[in-house]
Amino acid sequence: MSFVAAQILNGIATGMLYALMGLGLSLITGILNIPNFAHGALFAVGAYLLASAANEIGNFWIALVVAPLGVALLGLAIEYVGIRRLYAVGHDYQLLFTFGLALILSESIILIWGPVGYSYLPPPILRGGLDLGFTFYPKYRLFVMVMAGLLVLVTWLFLEKTRYGAIMRAGIENKEMVSLLGIDIHKLFTVAFALGAYLAGIAGALTVPIRGVNPGMGVDMLGIAFVVVALGGLGNLLGAIAAGLIIGVAQALVAAYWTEASTVVIYAVMAAVLLVRPQGLFGIR
């Protein structure tokens, strides 16, 4: 029993990270109306930046602040230099561009950090476990749950309670209206991309003490982010959380009994949900 409970907790922790990924992707995709195939690579860059920064500085916490900001800056540059020029072209070229970026980023990771991954320990204060009564559970994973929850909450507050957030939501619904309001849509796009990149970056950074780093982590996460968005709907915060948790928990439970299927199950769950509900969990096109 406690084993299953622990697996469910594991699923919630990874599910929250999936939700963060999906949320960031959903902002970028929804507002900029582009397929962002570089989202997984941004996740991987976030992870590697954290590992490097933490090793260089010797402090996990500073690295946790710096690494996602680095990814956000990278996102800013990508939007400003490249994607900005591609709003008028078809999705095919946008896809090729972001896919090309993903290749460049993941190959650069191999060139800089080498083809072999490595693991990284959580900061001393978060090592070991906590007795939750029904199970003994790693502190770091509890921390990830809280952090990811907080980030989702802050993103929600930003989108729902601030003026700029309201504009962003409007941007997902109706871009013409936003430009009619006299808002600089290009700036909005840049901010949205940077914010989405930040969320991918911090999801990557938070993953490192659990899974370590390896060059393939970006692509794996890209597919998962797509699943979250396909199930949860673009710009749908609750949808992203629900989808993230569903696949996270499903994955953790299956992994406990049939390790080989732990990745396949994510996509199988998606396919099963879409068979029953072709428009996703909340029926949004």
What minimum distance in Å lies between the beta carbon of 118 and another protein?
20
What minimum distance in Å lies between the beta carbon of 230 and another protein?
5
Q: Residue 161 or residue 259: which is nearer to another protein going by CB?
A: 259
Q: Residue 31 or residue 63: which is nearer to another protein going by CB?
A: 31
What minimum distance in Å lies between the beta carbon of 91 and another protein?
5
What minimum distance in Å lies between the beta carbon of 205 and another protein?
23
Q: Residue 205 or residue 281: which is nearer to another protein going by CB?
A: 281
Length of the chain: 285
What minimum distance in Å lies between the beta carbon of 93 and another protein?
5
Q: Residue 91 or residue 186: which is nearer to another protein going by CB?
A: 91
Q: Residue 127 or residue 186: which is nearer to another protein going by CB?
A: 186
Residues that bind another protein (CB under 8 A): 29, 33-35, 37, 82, 85-86, 89, 91-97, 99-104, 106-108, 110-111, 219, 222-223, 226-227, 229-230, 234, 260-261, 263-264, 267-268, 270-271, 274-275, 278-279, 285
Q: Residue 5 or residue 219: which is nearer to another protein going by CB?
A: 219
What minimum distance in Å lies between the beta carbon of 61 and another protein?
33
Tell me the C-alpha to C-alpha distance, in Å, between residue 9 and each of 165, 245, 270.
Answer: 31, 10, 21
